[in-house]
Amino acid sequence: MKKSGFIFLVLIFTVNAFPQSGMPEARNIVYLSFGFVPFGPVSVGLNYERMISPNASVRLGVNYTYQYSPNADFPDDAYISIPVMVNYLTSNNNKFELGLGGGPIFKVIGLREKHFPLFPAFGIAYRYQLQSSSMVYKMGIEMPAAPAFNLYSIGYHF
């Protein structure tokens, strides 16, 4: 029994150490996203994405959104949101991306709420990602469970 378990472990590590293709595909992506709404809030986010197949990924992000209020009767607002999304991507270097998910929003400045509501998150974007390069560039419209649209992202895949 011990011998068959040892052989099984050796085979698993050997298969992972020598992939079938010449270069292993990057499965992890870390990127910054930037967004705004004209005359409204601005947003900055840090995201981690894991490719679960060549055409699908799961994303976890943390976004900070700030909204300035010129009216003294209404205070400035700031939010932290944590969107979780599932994305579908096309299978080439110029990827079309559709995403859907949701997450909680925590209000950190302004009139605070007693509960943390869950909001939907969705996105449609164009992503340029070469396997030979480590950089990822993304442009599109994402509403990641925050009151601002993410328009541009830049990141690194490994």
Q: Is there a domain that residue 10 lies in?
A: no
pLDDT, position 113: 66
Q: What pLDDT sits at residue 99?
A: 95
Task: State the CATH number of the domain containing residue 88.
Answer: 2.40.160.20
**DSSP 3-state assignment of 4?**
helix
Q: Is residue 22 part of a domain?
A: no
**Is the separation of the CB atoms in 44 and 34 below 8 Å?**
yes
Distance CA 82, CA 64 (A): 9
Whole domain around residue 148: which residue ranges? 27-157
Output the DSSP codes for 12-53.
HHHHHHS-SSSSPPP-EEEEEEEEE-TTS-EEEEEEEEEEEE
Distance CA 53, CA 44 (A): 27
Question: Per the domain annotation, does 134 fall within a domain?
Answer: yes
Q: Is residue 116 part of a domain?
A: yes
User: Which residues, 6 or more positions from 147, have their beta carbon under 8 angstroms from its beta carbon?
Assistant: 37, 40, 41, 65, 67, 77, 79
Q: Is residue 19 part of a domain?
A: no
Task: Decide if 146 is inside a domain.
Answer: yes
- pLDDT of res. 7: 53
Using CA atoms, how far apart are residues 117 and 98, in angstroms rounded to an integer? 24
Report if residue 9 sits inside a domain. no
pLDDT of residue 155: 94
Per-residue pLDDT of the chain (158 residues; tens, 9 = 90+): 555 555 544 444 444 444 445 445 668 999 999 987 766 788 899 999 999 998 999 999 999 888 777 776 666 778 888 999 999 999 777 889 999 999 988 888 766 666 668 888 899 999 998 777 889 999 988 876 666 677 889 999 88
C-alpha 118/C-alpha 106 separation (Å) is 10
Pairing assessment for the beta strands 56-67 and 77-81 based on DSSP bridges: antiparallel
Q: Based on the structure, what is the number of domains in the chain?
A: 1
Residue 153: burial class (beta carbons within 10 Å; 0-12, 13-18, 19+): buried
